[in-house]
Structure 1
Amino acid sequence: MDHIGIVRPARPEDLPRLAELIHEHVAYEKSAARPAGLADRLGPRLFAEDARLWVLLAETPGGTVAGYAACSEEFAFWDARHYLHMDCLYLAEEARGHGLGAALMDAVAGLARELGLEHVEWQTPDWNEGAIRFYDRLGATGRPKRRYAWPV
């Protein structure tokens, strides 16, 4: 099998490329554009000494950052325990289908184990059939719910 690339933690110098990928992801999910300055707002939160946020980057064999998984620790009230919440997983279109998505998910699972967490949760739009097939192949189970946002 060909070398698929690597997955590694994001570094401060990755912020401009990470912001590009986030904007691509936002457009892909047909969401409203985000305001300028995303990298400037994200950096201090992601790289603070006490940050409980993790971003894993997928690099192609040529060294191009082509995707990311963004995670944070959350608390499941019904279970009375923490879990890893994967807020975003995105791969640039040209990087899909080469094993980088599976490598990112393996790294997310490894991060959860490293943190002593027993499971990972995430969501995907119900129209994203490719992502749903990918997650189903991993053995993940979906739970139908509707997500709300409430500006206050």
Structure 2
Amino acid sequence: MTGAPRVRHARPADLSRIAELVAEHASYEKAAPPVPDLAERLAVLLFGTPIPRLRCLVAELPDGEVVGYATCAPELSTWEGREYLHMDCLFLRTGNRGLGLGAALMDAVMAEARGLGLTEVQWQTPAWNEGAARFYERLGARAKEKLRYSLPVQS
């Protein structure tokens, strides 16, 4: 391999690989697997409109293998009356952590926020994921204690 790993914006050709990584991420977090048509759903969110609803950055090794991703989207804070960038996911495959790719993904997410004129990035991670918490705290992030709820909408 020549060159260095890099972070770049996802392309349509990356969708199946991103869906695989999302499945690994869900398994890592002991969550339900993603929907079978995830790649198609992500295509609409990432590439299906003039202004994408979702942004995705991928971590790529010098040989072209995509080994991680981060997704983010602008959201609103009612209390502050402003938008912020919500990072929904950041994941690197086992064996690719500790190489600087996580920091590179975070830098790219911060650049997305700056490019949108936003002054803050928010995210969450499972309380049991001590490695992620240490990583985020090394970057200067501080945790806020909250519970996250989910309620299916009945049709």
How high is the TM-score relative to the length of structure 2?
0.94
Structure 2, unaligned stretches of length 5 or more? none
Residue 17 of structure 2 is matched in structure 1 by 17
Residue 131 of structure 1 is matched in structure 2 by 132
Residue 72 of structure 2 is matched in structure 1 by 71
Q: CA deviation at 1:4?
A: 4.6
Residue 83 of structure 2 is matched in structure 1 by 82
Number of aligned positions between the proteins: 151
Distance 1:58 1:33 in 2: 22
1:1-152 pair list within 5 angstroms? 4-48=4-48, 49-152=50-153
Alignment RMSD, CA only?
1.3
CA offsets per residue over residues 96-129 of structure 1, 9 Å max, x none? 0100000000011111001100000000000000
Quickly say closer, same or farther: Cα 1:4–1:123, change in 2 above 3 A.
farther
Q: CA deviation at 1:148?
A: 0.3
CA offsets per residue over residues 57-106 of structure 1, 9 Å max, x none? 01112221010000000001100000000000000011101000000000
CA offsets per residue over residues 26-60 of structure 1, 9 Å max, x none? 00000012231110121112112222210000111
Task: Provide the secondary structure at the position in 2 that maps to 1:55.
Answer: strand
Q: Check whether the contact 1:4–1:100 (CA below 8 A) recurs between aligned residues.
A: no
Percentage identity across paired residues of the two chains: 57
